[in-house]
Structures are given as C-alpha cells and as structure tokens.
Structure 1
Amino acid sequence: MRQPAKFRARCLGLALLVLVAFGWRSAALADDLVVDGVVALVNGKIITKFEYDERLRPIYEQTRGRQLSTDELGQIATLRRKILEQMVDDMLLQQEAERYKFKVTDAEVEEQIKQFIAKRNISQDEFNRQLALQRLTRPEFANNMRRDMIRHRLIGGAVSNKVVVTDSEVEQVYNERKAEFSKDSMIQLGIILIPSGMSPTELKAEIESGRMTFAEAANRYSQGPGVGNGGDIGFIAWKDLAPEWNAALAGLKPGQITQPVHIQDFAGLLQVISLKEGEELALDSVREQIYQSLHEAKFEKVFQEYMQKLRDKAVVDYRNL
C-alpha cells in the first residue's frame, strides 16, 4: 500500500503556523522563566518547566510591556493547557517510537526537506522566506518534519489495513472538482486565525448572518496574516494547499466560508475571495495527486484514533501548573 507522498510537517504550502498574539500577564514573565521543576509526568517520564517555558516563550515575548484584560488572561490559560497537551502527545509518540525502536536520522530529515522543496519547485531562498513569514525557524520545521515521519512509521501497519482509496473515489473527486485540478488553477483566500477561547463556529455564524463581514472579522480578531487587509493572503495554487485545506475548500464559490480548519492547535476560517481557472487536465495526469489528498485525509483520521488510544491508556500526572 502506498504511503502519503508528502508529510504535512504542520508546514509550508500556506498551512500557516501562527503562534498567537495574546500573551501572558506581563512583560516581567518574559524575564522570570523558571528553569527547573516538573510540569507533567507521562508514563513516568518528565516534561520539565524549562521545556514548557521554551514552548511558551513566543507568547511572553509578544506581550512584553502589555497589560491584558481578564478575558485575555482566560484565553491564555486555555492556550497554555493546549500547548501542554501537545507536549504530552509528543512525549507519547516518542515513547511509542522508542518501544518499537523507530528512529529518524538527521540525514533522513534533511533528505525529506529537500524533497519537500523540490516538489514545490521553490528555491532555498524562497523556502527560507516562507519560514520567516510563518515565524518558523528551520530547526523547528525540521523537528516538525521528524515528528511527522515518526508518526507515519508508527502507524504505518495500521494504516495499510484501514486506509483504502478506490479508483471510483478518485474519479468522483475529479469530476466534482475539475477546476481545482486544472493547470495553473489558483484560489484567492481570506483567512481568520482565531484566538484561543473564541468559538470558530459562532464567529462563522455571525459572519454568515450579515452582522459583520469576513474582512471586518479578520481585521478585528485574526492572529495571522492579512490583518488590516481583511485577511486576504492572495492567490495560492490549488496544488500547494495542504490536504485538509484543499478538502475544506472543495466546491466552495467566491464569498463562501469553510468549516473551521486547524493550523497547529489553532482554529481558523478560510473564505474563497476569487477563483482563477487554468487549463483542464486529464484524469490520469492528476490521479496520483487526488489519491494522495484522499489518502492523507483518511490517514489523519486513523492517526487521531491512534492517539486517542495512547492517551486513554497513558498515566499522566500534571504538576505545578
């Protein structure tokens, strides 16, 4: 059974990484990080306060000199918990990798990054520019890539039995979304990256009710790119969209909004601003692309089920929070 050709790596191709614009209580916290102590034990292995603070550092630094409202502090408390839960999940994956003796070397990660860049036909300079736009360093991108490579290896056996993409499914997608698989077909997108504590479903309903426009909501609430420009992030080639974005946008017309999508651990809304159709391609020329998109979506579902089983049987002790 074929495995997905591209790893998400929570990565480029406009699957944007946004850290957050809301922060912790005061600038003083950015200079007073505790470098010892334990915040959680995961099956007996520790997550240190230092490691946790390092993950939170962007939040501290973005709020240097700011005073936050009670609502914002509540949102930050929720965000801190989400970040810790993500660290717990990472630890569970690491433990599973050790149990099954899975290893991903630095050389393998670098080779995967080279393939990632080559498939998108971009230069190293453009790759670095995209990382900078996403506030993501190359080591952070490499670590994300490594985690995704381990993830795929960990559940490869389960996926081979549970993830099946048929020819009829591929053909159905092609017929329903021909415009997306045309040569040089592009989509102009608006994006809202929603602060922790705000309901994306409720915000979507408010926009669709006409109480505010998507652009107004983006300028008021978004924590991501396009703020001040109504959330508009310009034209993107369909082929460069992450699979989950592609699936969420499938069949939408200009002005319509997706169901909530996830970027890292944050919720977001996408709006189709306009579509630019290209030259229609034959099914055989895009069959593999459609297959990979469907396979990746099914793979993600299996992975979430796998992670839930790991969480259910794990012994996690939270401390000093």
Structure 2
Amino acid sequence: MKKLFVFMPAILLCTVIAAHAAQINKVAAVVNGQVITMMDLQKIAVPNIARARLVPNKPSDAEAIDQVLRKTLDMMIMDILIVQDAKRLKVSIASSDVDKQIERMMQAHNMTKAQFEEQLAKDKMPLAELRKSIEKNLLRQKIMGLEVSRRVIVSQEEIKAYYESHKDSLFNRDNLHMALLVYPPKAKAGELAAQIKNGSLSFEEAVRKYSIASNKDKGGDMGPVKWDKLNPEWEGRLTKMKPGDVTEIFVLNNFKAQVRLFRPGGGVVNLLTLEEATPQIDAILRQPKAMERLEEYSAQLRNKAIIDIRL
C-alpha cells in the first residue's frame, strides 16, 4: 500500500532534540504573543533534515541544519501571521471542507475509510493532526485568493499584445505532465544540470541516479499538470515552458530541484487561437503581478506584527 505521508522515524526526532538539548525548552520565536518553541520548530523541520540526509550530531552538517531550522521557522511565522489575519478578515474553513479534502485523498489512493485510517496509524499521524494540517492549508489558500489573486488584474489589451508577440509558441497544454528532480544536498547540482542541458545525461537517468524525491522510480513523473490548481510560483515556472523543456535549478523546500514538462508518448504540438490561448496568457501575465502582490502582502503582515526571533 502506497504511503500517504512522509513519516520520519522517532529516533531521528530524538537525535535532533538531543543535539539541541540545552535549548529544547527555549522559545524559538514569539509572533504577536504566540510562542513557537524549539520543540515545535524541530518537529516540523525533522522531515526536511532527514530528506537532506543531514546528521544532527555531525559537526560538518551543523550549518546546513541551522539553515533548515531558520527557513522552517520563517515558514511557521508566516503561517501564524496568515491565521491571525484570517481572524481579522473573518475567514474560516468549515469542517465539511476538511472532510471533502480527506475524501479526495482517499479516492486518489483508492482507499476505503478503514484502509486510510490504518495507513494513518502506520504513519503515526493522528487524524486530528491531519485535519488541523489540512485546515491550515485550505485557510492559506483562501487568504491568498482574497489578498493576492483577486487583487491582480490582467487587461484584455495586455492579453492581445502578448498573443501577437508569442502566438508561434502558444500550444495546447492538455495532458502535459511534470517530472521532478530533487537533488541531495551534497550533489553537484550545477554540473548535473549542465549535463542534462547538453544532452549527455537524460533527465530520467538523472532522476533515477540522484533524486531524493519519492517518485524517482517513475522518472520523476508527478502526473498531469493541473493548471487551474497551480500557485503563482508554479504558474510562473511552468506556463512559459514547452514540452521537453527543463527548468534551471530552483530551490524547493530547502533543496535544489529541476522540473521537466512533457507529454507522455509525444504527439503534435497544436498552436492556439487568441480565444483558446487567453486563459494561458492570463496565467502567464498574472504570475509576476501575483508574486509582487504576495511580497507586498507578506511584508504588510510582518511590518504590522511584533516578531521576536530567538533562534
């Protein structure tokens, strides 16, 4: 049965805690009066530390672990600020919305409720904790929609101008898949990326040999791209790509990564009319505006907040 969640062995968490035993009862940060303890921080950071194959008691890994902790702390601070802003905006997530998300997860993995709960138990993931995580993600998406997406406007004139300049490269994106390559921290990512670019190393081979993502046995295939579900960052990354293109190296959850866009089985690339291309162009033009708005919103939250980082 396919695992639903990445569960890091309890021994690793204990090792991380032991490595910071003198600090474990200390406060990592206080955000508008809400405390983030070192225990809270390390619990969330452990999966990233494990995926990076970092050893808590190894001196040469100390700096890398510190970077993971700080990036995780920054993410936790933003989560708290978004939740607090949701209260100001009177935005909430209904229990039924969480139920629907869990149902989708079960359907995606062809699991019955009993099988799903059995897998949760194997992964040491309490249902209440899963529901809380889903609620937080849904709330973040809702707030991003209100404060970012809905405040970004792309005019029809901008779309027409873009089409005239790029109509020879606007094609049908149905059934395009995304393949992901996540490099281990000690890999020479730059050199490998250069080999992929010049054709001396195929993307699929690089995935099989080096990727630390869970889908390496499938050549990194993450399945069909759900264009209407992409966040601004991924929209910007994928909408300008053609089948067969590979991105430059970017950072994904503290790891260097690359993505390949492809259509299984190949096929003809069909160019689009202005009407057909409008949704695609809208996404392309919207992305940089959305990222700019996201940065503004994040800065607004931080500027209004009282944040005391003690890490």
- Which TM-score band applies after superposition, normalised by the shorter structure? 0.5 to 0.7
Identify the structure with the greater helix proportion. Answer: 2
- The corresponding residue for 2:137 is 144
Q: Is 1:179 aligned with 2:171?
A: yes
Q: Could you tell me whether the CA contact under 8 Å between 2:148 and 2:290 is conserved in 1?
A: no
Taking the aligned partners of 1:255 and 1:223, their CA distance within structure 2 comes to 22
In the TM superposition, residue 176 of structure 1 has moved relative to its aligned partner by: 4.9
Q: Is 1:90 aligned with 2:114?
A: no
Taking the aligned partners of 2:277 and 2:200, their CA distance within structure 1 comes to 41
Q: Among 187, 212, 218, which residue is 1:223 paired with?
A: 212
- The corresponding residue for 2:221 is 233
Q: CA-atom RMSD, angstroms?
A: 4.8
Amino acid at match of 2:15: L
Taking the aligned partners of 1:151 and 1:106, their CA distance within structure 2 comes to 17
Alpha carbons of 1:67 and 1:153: their partners in 2 closer, same or farther (altered >3 Å)? closer
Q: Is 1:298 aligned with 2:260?
A: no
Taking the aligned partners of 1:123 and 1:228, their CA distance within structure 2 comes to 22
Amino acid at match of 1:318: I
TM-score (norm 1): 0.64
1:55-107 deviation line (CA, Å, top 9, x unaligned) = 1343577799x788655554333212111111111222233344x34331325
- The corresponding residue for 1:103 is 91
SS of residue in 2 equivalent to 1:96: helix
1:292-314 deviation line (CA, Å, top 9, x unaligned) = 56435522331123213443564
For residues 1-321 of structure 1, the aligned pairs below 5 Å read: 26=12, 28-29=14-15, 36-58=25-47, 72-98=61-87, 100-107=88-95, 109-110=97-98, 113=101, 125-126=107-108, 137=130, 139-154=132-147, 160=151, 163-171=152-160, 172=162, 175-181=167-173, 185-195=174-184, 204-205=193-194, 207-208=196-197, 212-229=201-218, 231-233=219-221, 236-237=224-225, 239=227, 242=230, 244-250=233-239, 252-253=241-242, 255-261=244-250, 263=252, 266-274=255-263, 275-277=266-268, 283-284=274-275, 287-288=278-279, 290-291=281-282, 294-295=285-286, 297-311=288-302, 314-319=305-310, 321=311
Taking the aligned partners of 1:277 and 1:27, their CA distance within structure 2 comes to 50
Amino acid at match of 2:108: E
Taking the aligned partners of 1:234 and 1:210, their CA distance within structure 2 comes to 22
TM-score (norm 2): 0.65
Unmatched segments (≥5 aa) in structure 1: 1-16
Taking the aligned partners of 1:138 and 1:128, their CA distance within structure 2 comes to 19
Q: Could you tell me whether the CA contact under 8 Å between 1:219 and 1:228 is conserved in 2?
A: yes
Q: Percent identity?
A: 22
1:177-234 deviation line (CA, Å, top 9, x unaligned) = 54234xxx222443112446878667534543567543343234423143245x3316
Computing the radius of gyration from Cα coordinates, the structure with the larger value is: 2
Unmatched segments (≥5 aa) in structure 2: none
Alpha carbons of 1:218 and 1:63: their partners in 2 closer, same or farther (altered >3 Å)? closer
Q: Could you tell me whether the CA contact under 8 Å between 1:30 and 1:61 is conserved in 2?
A: no
Taking the aligned partners of 1:313 and 1:200, their CA distance within structure 2 comes to 39
SS of residue in 1 equivalent to 2:68: helix
Q: Could you tell me whether the CA contact under 8 Å between 1:78 and 1:197 is conserved in 2?
A: no
Q: Could you tell me whether the CA contact under 8 Å between 2:13 and 2:46 is conserved in 1?
A: no
SS of residue in 1 equivalent to 2:208: helix
Taking the aligned partners of 2:42 and 2:96, their CA distance within structure 1 comes to 29
Alpha carbons of 1:253 and 1:282: their partners in 2 closer, same or farther (altered >3 Å)? closer
In the TM superposition, residue 146 of structure 1 has moved relative to its aligned partner by: 1.0
Alpha carbons of 1:106 and 1:123: their partners in 2 closer, same or farther (altered >3 Å)? closer
Taking the aligned partners of 2:250 and 2:7, their CA distance within structure 1 comes to 16
